[in-house]
Structure 1
Amino acid sequence: MSTSALTASQSEVFLPYMRDVGRCERSLQELNLMWRIIEASAKMNCPQEARAILPTMAATRSSFAQLEKELVHSLVQQKISHVLTEIGTTAQYVIDIVVRNLFERTADVGFLATDRELCSFVAGLHEERGRIHHRLCEYRNKYTVYDEIILLDTEGHVLAQIDPSSPLEHSTDPLLRQTLASDQYVETFRASDLRPHKRQALIYSRRMHHPDTGAVVGVLCLCFNFEEEMAGIFESHGDPAHRTNLLLLDDSHRVIASADPEWMPVGVRVPVNLDQSPRLFMHAGREYLVRTFSSAGYQGYPGPTGWLGQAMIPLDVAFSSQSRDLVSGLDPDLLAGLLSHADRFCPPLHDIVVAARHIQRIVWNGQVMTAGQHGDMQKLKTVLEQISETGNRSNELFEHSIHDLYQTVLGSSLLDAEFTAHLLVDLLDRNLYERSDDCRWWALSPELRQALAEGPPDAAERMRSVLDTIHALYTVYTSLFVYDAEGRILAATSEAGQAFVGQSLDARDLAAVLALNSPQHYHVSPFENTPWYGGQPSYVYHAAIRHPDDEDRVVGGIGIVFDSTPELHNMLLSGLGGREHMQALFVNRQGRVLASTSTAHPVGSVLALPGSQTALANGSSQARVCTHLEEYAIEACSVSKGYREFKTQDGYRDDVIAVVYRHFGPVRGARTAQRSQDFYIEHDTATDSGLEFATFFCDGSLMALPAECVQEAVSFSEVRTTSMGVRSGQIGILGLRESQSPQGKASYIWVFDLGQLLHGQRAERTPNSQVMILRHGGQALGLLVDELHAVTPFEASALEPSPLALQSQSMLTRQVIKANQGKLLIQAVDVDRLFQWLIDGIEPPRFSLADALAAQAPQEEALALVA
């Protein structure tokens, strides 16, 4: 859900309800004020001494003020987007599931209204009411979504029904006349005398014809158990914290089903958000965030006219949930790599990171610029100390705020993927539930039972006629076939099915069908390559056909071949809802792919999932950040749990896992960013002694250079890369302004890759890459490093020779700085040797302290040598 249209004034409306963002804003304002005070103090107390740093301070203050606004605004936007995504996914789910479910009802009523036995009864050809009642109950036992089935004549007299709690004799409902006048089904949702104890009833009706003359003789009504079905949807997918209410609305925007009817009762009119805007809506004196969705329809069925799925969450509780910390537990390389693609999955986050990096560089440059200027300049010294302290606080706050923003963005993406996976397995279970119903009901067909039991000469033709009628109404199958007790196929539908006639059923499936205990049981072949589906994998649903006079005697069976390739693929596409950045799959517990929208994972291949996901409990979901197909991705899994009695009480088990991927960009190389707080250097600000060093990261290690030889740092984007260099590590040139150049005029310097000088391998260029401009002995050069860190003074006693420096007198890092009481070792670059090598063209060795420690001794032994 995009919130890019949210204005600054709109953000202020939401801000009081986001306590964490409010705290961040106050901290940013305090730091902004501190930068103003420091700048004003320098101007008033030591204008001459501070004239060199005043422009940097002004730039810092201006950039900080702009970043403060952008960061707070982005935090507000992303939190709103997170909530809207969460409630929007469930609202879309409500209407999509309802429409898919009701589509099946339109087929059911069309089939049952042509049932010859029922039509004969309604036509008055026999009066065996008990047998008809039993047949209707058998149907209800298979299709448990109905709570009433009614047969009426053309005058509205009730001939049969199955709900004993609501006895009927006659109906005057106008739907009867409408149905008698139509050759299609009629869908009715309102109060009806056919369901007198209900406020509203969802009824599917169709006229019935005389089995011999074709005259219209009555009406069949299938009454959908609407309240029970909606309660199940709300219970399964509603908000467990009860902050959000899920609703189903009619075309006048009145509630027809509510997850919490005491909060929003049926019949009340509510505001809707059809344009998906992030604005607030008032209802009953309370402000809400609202998401509203209509249905795109399913296989040509649009659903009841004007029905909408909606979710509403009050503003005062919308942002109060305790979200999981999704960032701190991630592998640092994975976290940094994913963040490097922020421009793709969250442009505002990328802009904030770039702005924060710019300010951090300004502060770092200010600290470098003033290094070594203490002396007797007491007034300036105080200002410099405040710059250093405030700069460190600013960096820490930036990292914390960006962490929160990152957390919100990731949380929204993870939640969206997890809900999508959950929706997909639910769609699958609900669809396949209908298949289990179909095969069992069709196995009860009197025509099929009689033809198999008696075997008249035209038995095959009669059975095919019945199967053709069924198949015309149920298009999700490629073929339907009937076989005898020996497994020999006698009749089949479709051109492909005709080739089955005369063939025999697999012994495994036949044995399973013959062993079915009752008409309530069924058998499903495993999802594997089958000749009944052209040698491709699919499910084939089977039910036993029993002798018309002996329920215990199985005379054959019916097989219905699910058209799995398009049907499963369409389920995946429907669940993704047009989100092209996502891919989805159905797999089994072993990772075998049943259906896929990804060309990298075709049907039949095996998807490697971690054991924690293949072992998830039924109905459980999980989402994580990972790498997939050499890209950073979110991976969400959800395991099927069944629907109603399907896979829960009927003895059938076939766990399917829906897997959803969202990719963000190619995997980066080694560590692409460092967390400065993980390398915090303790420093006593009360002391004015010590040697100042500029610290930075290179190839995952914290390193240092004397601050006096560092002029400033610039973004790597300012370097002009070139292949003209002849020296090792020479990667490009950097243009210097007059103020930067040792000669006092515009010039160019060579830029070298420190990582390549140390190890012989070029460092990966990332958005964090910085170039430090070094000056030494009248010469200048640029040095590419991974990231800037800090400018800190160290006592001379903290510097000690590297314990391994004697092994190579030409090492670049001959000393280490023992920081934090020796707990943190910082490699100090030898500036003299660095310039000697680069000026004289001496090839540096591929060796460093990190290499030596790894190759020669465990870390604790090396630390002991240093000590």
Structure 2
Amino acid sequence: MTHTAAPLQIDTYLPYMRDVIRCEQSLHELNLMWRMIESSAKMNCPVEAKTILPTMAATREGFNRLEQELVASLVNEKIATVLDEIGTKAQYVIDIVVRNLYERTADVGFLATDNELCAFVAGLTDQQSAIRQRLRAYRNKYTVYDEIMLLDTAGNVLVQIDESTPLEGSVDPLLAQTLASNTYVETFRATDLRPAKKQALIYSRRMLHPDTGVVVGVLCLCFNFEQEMAGIFQSHRDPAGRSNMMLLDGSNRVIESADALWIPPGAVVPVNTASNPALMMFAGREYLVRTYPAGGYQGYPGPPGWQGQVMIPVDVAFTGGARSTLTTLDPGVAAGLLSHAQSFSPPLYEIMAAAENIQRVVWNGQVMTTGQRGEQMKLKTILDQISETGARSNELFSKSIADLYETVLASSLRDSEFVSHLLVDLLDRNLYERSDDCRWWALTPELQAALAAPAAPQRDGEMVERITGILEYINRLYTVYTCIFVYDASGCIVASTQPDQDGGTVLGTFIEADTLAQVRALRSEQDYCVTPFAPSPLYGGRPTYVYHAAIRDPNDDASVVGGIGIVFDSKPELDAMLRSGLGHKAGMNALFVDRRGCVIASTDPTRPVGTRLEMDQTLLALPNGSSASRIVIHDGHYAIMGCTVSSGYREFKVSDGYREDVLALVFDSFGEVRERPGVGHQGHTVLQSDLTAIGGFEFATFFVDGALFALPAEHVLEALPAAKISTVSRGERKACIGLLGLQHEAVNHGSVWVFDLGYLLHGQPSVIDKSSQVIIVRYGGQTIGLLVDALHDVPAFNQSQIMHSPFTGQADGALVKHFIKANGGQLLIQTVDVSSLFAVLMNRKAMA
């Protein structure tokens, strides 16, 4: 995405973009060079230069336009890249917070209906220590809370779990608000319920008398907000510390900051919800800023006005993150990637097109002066100067292109890595809640009493109905489960929210013997187990995770009387995580895979769940929490791949004994693989000057399929961009690819047939891209066009450097009969025999 910026902004940004400055200097040097050459040609050889002056003027005008427009485009491209990068992080800050707080709204709704807690608040029991222990058991499973308290309708604290800060009561207005509401109340501010904190995030809900339904009190769940935000910042902030990540309220005031010494909580900061590329001032420093409001999750909007924001100072926004991506790539892959420049970086493509235009103009001028003497030598001298100066400028030009290319690739690599990191974080956070749920619900007194009863519960219809009602109430609150079921000590399922699966009932069936053995071996109420991600009859035969916890005898904690199982709705939930992580990034796919590369979830329809992804073994062996990114060939396309291995969340998968590593993979495609991209060859082949070649034979050199070829320059008229070819139906003549019009000084000189020289030489069609050129060749009164990959030079060689080909009897021997020994014999240039070429194309025998 490219943003339009005013000239003043360009001037403001440019000093911070060294690579763009180098490119601007390169363009300016080329512009001056063309002005000088054009003036010299007009003064010294106006007649001889008549045919080339219009082209030179067009080139000069093009550079004038490039200097004015291209630099602005490049600056805007780099600004857009930074804005997109910090925007992704700003969006993830608020998205992670909202997803986490959504779970809290479900928690308070469920816990406020707990029969034991309601009976205590109603005064039906007086077991304060037992209730405190029950609340602490809840906190031990849902470790995101740092305080839980029960209050009566007058605001008196009946019990709290944090005895280090004892409270007698509260007069906070949230109590009256909660008592009057039939849903949860979310409060974030200073409160006498948490006197030691400047502000607290509390979820409260009224509690009802278990028999009469009268409002008897309030449950408050106090979220450990500071610890949660510190974890988000530590996990997702820029490791180099160039930007600051923060959470804002509706007044644009900082709630929490990744670096409080830099931007402190309480500060009011500028925001940018519209992705405006303008700089914003804060505390005497200019910043690029991106802001995202809460987008909501599962119908929960998030706290009113909350926003995620990332700010990066302009003086460091375009530095850091340097990678040598291009140098580590296979040259063919690098060239292929570059051939797709137009799709992923239009300004980069424009620079490359300008370089190709310069090359063609110089090449054509040299061809035109082939064999000329006397006054025509003046033009040739000018063209030689163009070529020499252009070569020096082109070196700087190529460096600018490489720098910009690195910028685009490095940004994409960082982005894919960050997205993969976010995806495993979302997964671990979500599944952490599942481990909490199953352990807490296993402590439900009604379930414990039912399974501990002497009579088998499946024979007691009233008891089964009561258990089923409890499970259905839970399932209505926690919609991420398709089924919640309870089984007895033998593993027989006695109650379920989905009693029927695939036309049969699950009631009376047994869970797997190895799963039952794991449940019976769980040592405490803090333990749980999870079935491997595999097809489950409880999920319609589809693969999923099923979380289990032991239900214990209420009178004997060591006795396991059964268990509870919760079936995670993996297909839509995992898919939603992947798509949420990708956001609106077009062309990207994401997958969750296990350590074997087996797909757990995928946005790629060609890789459904259960298939295996072919992966580099070093990625599958990455340590937990590690990330990597690289350029790969994926499904016949060049792609940026990001990969991160899960590392758990809080105690989940960290210290709770559960291990199930998942890798998140992100693929961002840059275009299909091109076996012969025809790009980048000319920068790698330099012909050394040979002073003895003066008066020798002149050849026009060019590239086909990465190899250097030559044609006698006397038969070459000019080169034209292959983009001007008009394709026509050619039947069985695969070498003939279309027609090309010849036009000089607005006069139409007819058209020529264009033939694919790569196909004639090797039998494989050439790929036409922005480097492709058509060389116009004339022989014996006939004129044709030859498609080649790129132009090279028009050098002269002595007879001693030309030798007969030893392969004239082979397939391409009819076209290549000579080699040129260049660079002291270190480089061989294949020479296309013109008479043989025309004989093949015109269906007549070669001339002697």
Same fold (TM over 0.5): yes
> Structure 1's 745 and 202: CA in aligned 2 closer, same or farther, altered over 3 A?
closer
Structure 1's unaligned 5+ residue stretches are 845-867
Distance 1:63 1:338 in 2: 26
Mapping 1:75-94, distance limit 5 Å: 75-94=74-93
> Structure 1's 651 and 471: CA in aligned 2 closer, same or farther, altered over 3 A?
same
Mapping 1:679-758, distance limit 5 Å: 679-683=685-689, 688-723=694-729, 729-737=735-743, 746-758=749-761
Query: Do the aligned residues in 2 keep the contact of 1:727 with 1:841 (CA within 8 Å)?
Result: no
Aligned residue number for residue 629 of structure 2: 623
The C-alpha deviation readout for 1:552-611, integer Å capped at 9, x for no partner, is 211111111111111111112222223342222222122222222222111222222222
Offset at residue 455 of structure 1 (A): 4.2
Query: Do the aligned residues in 1 keep the contact of 2:761 with 2:812 (CA within 8 Å)?
Result: no
Residue 555 (str. 1) matches residue 567 (str. 2): no
Residue 493 (str. 1) matches residue 506 (str. 2): no
The C-alpha deviation readout for 1:9-34, integer Å capped at 9, x for no partner, is 42222101112221221232123212
The C-alpha deviation readout for 1:76-124, integer Å capped at 9, x for no partner, is 2222122112211111110000000000000101111111111111112
Q: Counterpart amino acid of 1:826?
A: I
Mapping 1:558-597, distance limit 5 Å: 558-597=564-603
Offset at residue 762 of structure 1 (A): 3.2
Query: Do the aligned residues in 2 keep the contact of 1:78 with 1:405 (CA within 8 Å)?
Result: no
2:660 alignment partner, SS class = coil
Offset at residue 708 of structure 1 (A): 2.6
2:334 alignment partner, SS class = helix
Distance 1:491 1:738 in 2: 87
Distance 2:466 2:494 in 1: 11
Offset at residue 262 of structure 1 (A): 0.7
Distance 2:586 2:187 in 1: 36
- The percentage of aligned residue pairs carrying the same residue is 61
Deviates more, 1:662-671 or 1:770-779: 662-671
Distance 1:755 1:580 in 2: 35
2:326 alignment partner, SS class = coil
Q: 1:507 aligns with which of 506, 513, 525?
A: 513
Residue 165 (str. 1) matches residue 164 (str. 2): yes
1:561 alignment partner, SS class = strand
Q: 2:795 aligns with which of 792, 799, 812?
A: 792
* C-alpha RMSD of the superposition: 2.5
Counting matched residue pairs gives 840
Distance 1:322 1:364 in 2: 39
Aligned residue number for residue 770 of structure 1: 773
> Structure 1's 809 and 25: CA in aligned 2 closer, same or farther, altered over 3 A?
closer
Mapping 1:182-201, distance limit 5 Å: 182-201=181-200
Offset at residue 375 of structure 1 (A): 5.2
Offset at residue 483 of structure 1 (A): 1.1
Distance 2:143 2:734 in 1: 76
Q: Counterpart amino acid of 2:636?
A: E
Aligned residue number for residue 269 of structure 2: 270
Q: Counterpart amino acid of 2:94?
A: I
Deviates more, 1:512-521 or 1:33-42: 33-42
> Structure 1's 379 and 764: CA in aligned 2 closer, same or farther, altered over 3 A?
closer
Q: 1:609 aligns with which of 602, 606, 615?
A: 615
Distance 1:727 1:537 in 2: 54
> Structure 1's 612 and 685: CA in aligned 2 closer, same or farther, altered over 3 A?
farther
> Structure 1's 809 and 138: CA in aligned 2 closer, same or farther, altered over 3 A?
closer
Mapping 1:320-335, distance limit 5 Å: 320-335=319-334
Mapping 1:199-598, distance limit 5 Å: 199-373=198-372, 379-455=378-454, 457=460, 458-496=462-500, 499-598=505-604
Distance 1:451 1:192 in 2: 41
1:86 alignment partner, SS class = helix
Distance 1:68 1:397 in 2: 16
Query: Do the aligned residues in 1 keep the contact of 2:250 with 2:306 (CA within 8 Å)?
Result: yes
Query: Do the aligned residues in 1 keep the contact of 2:74 with 2:347 (CA within 8 Å)?
Result: no
With structure 1 as the length reference, what TM-score do the two structures score? Answer: 0.92
Distance 1:737 1:195 in 2: 83
Distance 1:656 1:809 in 2: 53
Q: Counterpart amino acid of 2:486?
A: V
Offset at residue 534 of structure 1 (A): 1.3
The C-alpha deviation readout for 1:46-67, integer Å capped at 9, x for no partner, is 4344444333332332223333
Aligned residue number for residue 177 of structure 1: 176
Offset at residue 728 of structure 1 (A): 7.7
The C-alpha deviation readout for 1:700-728, integer Å capped at 9, x for no partner, is 21111122321110122333334458878
Query: Do the aligned residues in 1 keep the contact of 2:90 with 2:292 (CA within 8 Å)?
Result: yes
> Structure 1's 393 and 74: CA in aligned 2 closer, same or farther, altered over 3 A?
farther
Distance 1:205 1:132 in 2: 18
> Structure 1's 453 and 303: CA in aligned 2 closer, same or farther, altered over 3 A?
same
Offset at residue 299 of structure 1 (A): 0.4
Query: Do the aligned residues in 1 keep the contact of 2:423 with 2:581 (CA within 8 Å)?
Result: yes
> Structure 1's 809 and 69: CA in aligned 2 closer, same or farther, altered over 3 A?
closer
> Structure 1's 837 and 593: CA in aligned 2 closer, same or farther, altered over 3 A?
closer
Distance 1:474 1:739 in 2: 76
Distance 2:373 2:518 in 1: 90
Query: Do the aligned residues in 2 keep the contact of 1:452 with 1:459 (CA within 8 Å)?
Result: no
Distance 1:685 1:306 in 2: 76
> Structure 1's 808 and 526: CA in aligned 2 closer, same or farther, altered over 3 A?
closer
The C-alpha deviation readout for 1:792-825, integer Å capped at 9, x for no partner, is 2334433233343477996322222222222221
Q: 1:656 aligns with which of 642, 662, 680?
A: 662
> Structure 1's 652 and 727: CA in aligned 2 closer, same or farther, altered over 3 A?
closer
Query: Do the aligned residues in 2 keep the contact of 1:483 with 1:489 (CA within 8 Å)?
Result: yes
1:734 alignment partner, SS class = strand
> Structure 1's 754 and 174: CA in aligned 2 closer, same or farther, altered over 3 A?
same
Distance 1:58 1:796 in 2: 37
Offset at residue 257 of structure 1 (A): 0.5
Distance 2:340 2:32 in 1: 33
Aligned residue number for residue 851 of structure 1: none
Deviates more, 1:399-408 or 1:721-730: 721-730
Distance 1:686 1:295 in 2: 74
> Structure 1's 835 and 488: CA in aligned 2 closer, same or farther, altered over 3 A?
closer
Query: Do the aligned residues in 1 keep the contact of 2:153 with 2:179 (CA within 8 Å)?
Result: yes
Aligned residue number for residue 818 of structure 2: 815
> Structure 1's 44 and 288: CA in aligned 2 closer, same or farther, altered over 3 A?
same
1:240 alignment partner, SS class = coil
Q: Counterpart amino acid of 1:308?
A: Q
Aligned residue number for residue 26 of structure 1: 25
Aligned residue number for residue 677 of structure 1: 683
Distance 1:374 1:469 in 2: 98
Distance 1:128 1:685 in 2: 105
Distance 1:129 1:364 in 2: 93
2:325 alignment partner, SS class = coil
Residue 133 (str. 1) matches residue 148 (str. 2): no
Q: Counterpart amino acid of 1:752?
A: F
> Structure 1's 207 and 645: CA in aligned 2 closer, same or farther, altered over 3 A?
same
Q: 2:671 aligns with which of 650, 654, 665?
A: 665
Distance 1:166 1:809 in 2: 90
> Structure 1's 481 and 275: CA in aligned 2 closer, same or farther, altered over 3 A?
same
The C-alpha deviation readout for 1:759-794, integer Å capped at 9, x for no partner, is 334333333221111133444222121221222233
Distance 1:226 1:117 in 2: 28
Mapping 1:798-809, distance limit 5 Å: 798-805=801-808
Aligned residue number for residue 13 of structure 2: 14
Q: Counterpart amino acid of 1:785?
A: V
